[in-house]
A and B are shown apart, each in its own frame.
Chain A
Amino acid sequence: MEAYLGYFLYFLSLLTVGGIYAILALGLNVQWGFAGLFNAGIVGFVAVGAYTYALLTTAESTFHLGGFGLPLPIGMAVAMLASALVAALIGLVCIRLRSDYLAIATIGIAEIIKLIFKNETEVTNGPRGINKIPRSWEHFSEERFYSSWPMSWFGTPENWEAFFDSLPNWYWQPLFAGTIILVVFAIYKMLERARTSPWGRMMTAIRENEPASRAAGKNVTRRRIEAFVIGAAIMGLGGAFLAQHLRLIEPTNTFDPSKVTFLVWVMLIAGGSGNNRGAILGAFLIWTIWSASELMISGIIDLITAIFSTMDASILQTRAGFLRMMLIGILMQVILQRYPGGILPEVRPASPKADTKTADPTGDTK
């Protein structure tokens, strides 16, 4: 029984983290898949979301600004807003430039954001980070929540304490995973609507043939900024969930570009950019491969150290992590070259009136 519970909880954690990545991949899909905007600084938007959420929802602390102890949904909503705001500022400056510049600028902004979080110790506690971030569902069992409204309306702190003591200590796990899956589904539904709406079709038209869209009087820059901001807001929400999942965030290791930005890119490319289902599938698939390969590699290392008993396992362990990263990078290259459409390639929304301008892609000179 114990063993099955272990597998069940492992499965839940796959769903949780996979779901958080799915949210990020959906956000990226709005920017890249819909609008063709190369955001190489995903980690920056995630960090803004995570820090905003953390500062707003943690209990008052002497280490950092606040925390303000606000309700969790407010924290998440403001996390989205903050991320969107940052995106809007970058968008206004960089979106009219060629995609390479946007990539450079976003890499830059992500680094600057991390720099700020690292240096503004008064606000963020600097490199030591923010601790005890409330996690949805689990937070109910914290005294500061059950001893204040609205929970206090339904029971005394003593009642609540007894109630949570009677639950297994992992009671929140299925609920948290379920919430994230629900959020993924909701975002998916909204993005599917957006994709098939006139707005979505306009995005496709712009991406396929920008000059024609401009000539047709469409406000290309505005549409692009919209896509960039919406995507960033979704990433901000992903960041808020990441902060909940980790409960401790700090600027350097938590927001390592290779584990956030790169991995999300690989997920979207593998799943199929432009396809929302592809983004979700890619996220879960790559995350499963990623975390399963960790188990596998540590198994192999155990084996090796058992055979060569003089070997220092810890060196192998750290190096193996990087080998995994390298293999993910190679996987990305293979997908780019061999399967440019990903597992679920983009499906064009059926357009009500035949749009001859975009229907026939004219190739370049060979």
Chain B
Amino acid sequence: MWDAFGFEFVNFYLIPGLVLGCIYALGAIGITLTFGILRFANFAHGEIMMSGAYLTYTVMAIVAGAGLSLHPLVAMVPAAFMVILLFLGTDRYFYKPFRKEDTIKVVMASFGMMLIIRSAVQVIWGPNQIAFVPGIAKPNAWLQSFTGDLGAMIIMPNKHLFIFAGTVIIVIALGYLLNRTRIGKAMRAVSDSPDLAHVTGINVDKVINATWIVGGICATAAGVFLVMDTQTLETTMGFRMLLPMFAAAILGGIGKPYGAVFGGLVIGLAEELSAYPWIGDAPLLSPGYKTGVAFAIMVIMLIVRPQGLFKGRSF
């Protein structure tokens, strides 16, 4: 059973799908929080995620210049800090002026930010692909032999283990923040009703800043996990991620972070599993169309259940 079907399915479709799903999930958390709390679709989110990966790379390169080597997960910390500043700066100068106006204005501003950030990255780092971590990632030997002994061999490189562990930690921390801390509850309150939050005396500006901070951390993690997985930096990766992340946020219900996580996993799995030869020997869907899967799911969702699986807000 394992030899005929399971080995290939699990190692070449299921695990990559989950890895991709984790990345989408983290990206979608930021999108769904911004959508829920600031009430607009932030088109610059993908680009911010991409710049987080570039900043991490730069931190690693600088440290490498000093003769040390730094794991991306460590280099990610100062990068996340810079991404948060980038988010807060963008909000302050480009989004805040439109807070009291029609939402579409701020959507447009974020649309412009998408262009500005991407061009800035292209000016600074150049438009070409950069190798993030060179070389082939070897499967984790211990896991391979352990599962091999059990008769269900799993070959998974360390980078994937890091991605899973990182995602689980971030999601747990997020759950703690939203359900146990004052600011997290206030974030949920503002997402619930900004007007009521306002007349309850909640400091909405503070909540908005907290949202950018959480979104910034998740976005950086998503960006870094993505380049850890693909091992290349590309200036187009943010834009490529945008659609699946929105699809994940809509699937899970706008304003629902756990929904976004679930949505991200579903979209990631769907993209990878769509290339599995379910019928006959050929991939069900040509791998060239992988990106289309997210879009299809999103459109179907918008038609049949715009509020998402977890009853988020629908407009």
- Find out whether A and B make contact in their complex, taking CB atoms under 8 A apart as touching: yes
Q: Mark B108-142, 1 if CB is under 8 A from A, else 0.
A: 11011101101110110011000000000000000
A-B contact pairs, 24 of them (CB 8 A): A38-B104, A97-B302, A97-B314, A103-B43, A103-B107, A104-B250, A107-B43, A108-B243, A108-B295, A112-B291, A115-B288, A115-B291, A119-B288, A258-B115, A262-B112, A318-B126, A319-B123, A322-B120, A325-B119, A326-B115, A330-B116, A332-B112, A333-B113, A336-B108
CB pair A333 B126 closer than 8 Å = no
CB of A337 within 8 A of chain B?
A: yes
Contact in complex: B123, A40 (CB < 8 Å): no
B288 lies within 8 A of A93 (CB): no
Chain B residues proximal to chain A, CB less than 8 Å: 35, 40-41, 43, 94, 97-98, 100, 103-105, 107-109, 111-113, 115-116, 118-120, 122-123, 126-127, 239, 242-243, 246, 250, 286, 288-289, 291-292, 295, 298-299, 302-303, 306, 314-315
CB distance from B31 to the nearest CB of A (A): 10
Known contacts A99-B104, A105-B302, A111-B243; is A333 also within 8 Å of B112 by CB? yes
The SS class assigned to the A binding surface is helix
Q: Which residues of A have CB within 8 Å of B109?
A: 333, 336
Q: Which of B123, B126, B127 is packed against the most chain A CB atoms within 10 Å?
A: B123
Inter-chain CA distance A105–B288, complex, in Å, is 20
| Nearest B residue to A266, CB-CB | B112
B116 and A333: CB pair below 8 A? Answer: yes
Q: How far is the CA of A85 from the CA of B122 in the complex (A)?
A: 36
CB nearest to A252 among chain B residues? B236
Contact A104 B41 (CB under 8 A): yes
Contact flags A106-126 to B (C-beta < 8 A → 1, else 0):
011101100100110000000
| CA gap between A93 and B250 in the complex, in Å | 15
Instruction: Give A93 to B299 CA distance when docked, in angstroms.
Output: 8
Question: Which residues of chain B have C-beta atoms less than 8 A from A332's C-beta?
Answer: 112, 115
Point out the residues of chain B lying under 8 angstroms from A112, CB to CB: 291-292, 295
Q: Tell whether A183 is near chain B: CB-to-CB under 8 Å.
A: no
B295 near A111 with CB under 8 A, answer yes
Question: Which residues from chain B contact A190 at a C-beta distance below 8 Å?
Answer: none
Q: Which residue of B lies closest to A101 (CB)?
A: B302
Residues of chain B contacted by A109 (CB below 8 angstroms): 295
